[in-house]
Amino acid sequence: NFWVAHLFAGKAQLAEGRLDEALASFARARELSRGSAEAISLTGYTLARMQDPAGATRALDEVSKKIGGSLKR
């Protein structure tokens, strides 16, 4: 399984408003890539679109730690 394919599938699903499918694709991309910052960021964005601010914040915190910085909210 090629993680980038799951990432791009998730982006297409997100653009079509298929949020549950996008979230699953980003989760698979995260798993296969061992934590791609882009996959984590897109997970957070998708969770925000799904009206899950707590989940989106967790993803933001995770990607912030991964890139070694502090992201402003």
Mean pLDDT within 43-72: 90
Residues 6 or more apart in contact with residue 17 via CB below 8 angstroms: none
Q: Is the pLDDT of residue 71 over 70?
A: no
What pLDDT, on a 0 to 100 scale, did the predictor assign at position 68? Answer: 79
Return the closest-CA partner of residue 71 out of 44, 31, 35, 39.
44
pTM, to two decimals: 0.89
What pLDDT, on a 0 to 100 scale, did the predictor assign at position 66? Answer: 84
Q: Which residue has the higher pLDDT, 48 or 70?
A: 48
Going 36 to 42 to 47 to 48, the CA torsion angle's sign is positive
Q: What are the tens digits of pLDDT across the range 24-51? A: 999 999 999 999 999 999 999 999 999 9
